[in-house]
């Protein structure tokens, strides 16, 4: 897990976001336990409170459930919910790209051409 101290994003949010991505990508399966709060805090050299806050965020989103004395395990993921979360991520990234393109002075057409070029490059690479 990579944490960026100067990113402006709180450490607990970075941890939650990375676990969320891993869960949505299937790297953690239904019923699988996340690393222990204390163990993760020790590995990352951060506060147990910070780790706990990250896990609580994941629980609020319904991605994990806490079990007294055992930790947090991954909930079953509804495929429609997963699809919706991916769509939301794409939407956020595209909105950010539109905003940055505006700052850079790109027209809508230039932005669309750039996206088309990137998609073509992805298709030829892979």
Helix ranges (DSSP H) in 25-107: 37-44, 48-60, 79-104
pLDDT on residue 83:
74
Write the pLDDT tens digit of every residue in 88-118: 889 999 999 999 999 999 999 999 999 999 9
- Residues sharing a CB contact under 8 Å with residue 14, sequence separation 6 or more, in sequence order: 3, 4, 7
How much of the chain exceeds pLDDT 70, in percent? 96
The stretch 14-39 carries a mean pLDDT of: 91
Q: Tell me: pLDDT of 126 over 70.
A: no
11-74, CATH topology level: Arc Repressor Mutant, subunit A (1.10.10)
Q: Tell me: pLDDT of 23 over 90.
A: no
pTM summary value: 0.64
Q: Tell me: pLDDT of 81 over 80.
A: no
CA distance 14 to 22: 12
Give me the residue spans of the domains in the chain.
11-74, 79-125
**Angstrom distances, CA of residue 107 to CA of 51, 57, 115, 122, 124:** 43, 38, 12, 23, 26
Q: Tell me: pLDDT of 66 over 80.
A: yes
């Amino acid at each position: 897990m990579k944490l960026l101290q100067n990113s402006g994003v709180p450490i607990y949010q970075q941890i939650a976001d990375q676990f969320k991505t891993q869960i949505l990508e299937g790297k953690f399966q239904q019923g699988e336990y996340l690393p222990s709060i204390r163990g993760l805090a020790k590995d990352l050299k951060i506060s147990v409170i910070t780790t706990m806050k990250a896990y609580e965020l994941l629980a609020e989103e319904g991605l994990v459930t806490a079990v007294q004395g055992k930790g947090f395990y991954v909930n079953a993921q509804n495929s429609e919910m997963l699809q919706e979360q991916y769509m939301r991520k794409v939407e956020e990234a595209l909105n950010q790209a539109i905003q940055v393109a505006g700052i850079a002075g790109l027209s809508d057409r230039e932005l669309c051409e750039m996206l088309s070029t990137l998609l073509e490059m992805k298709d030829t690479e892979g």
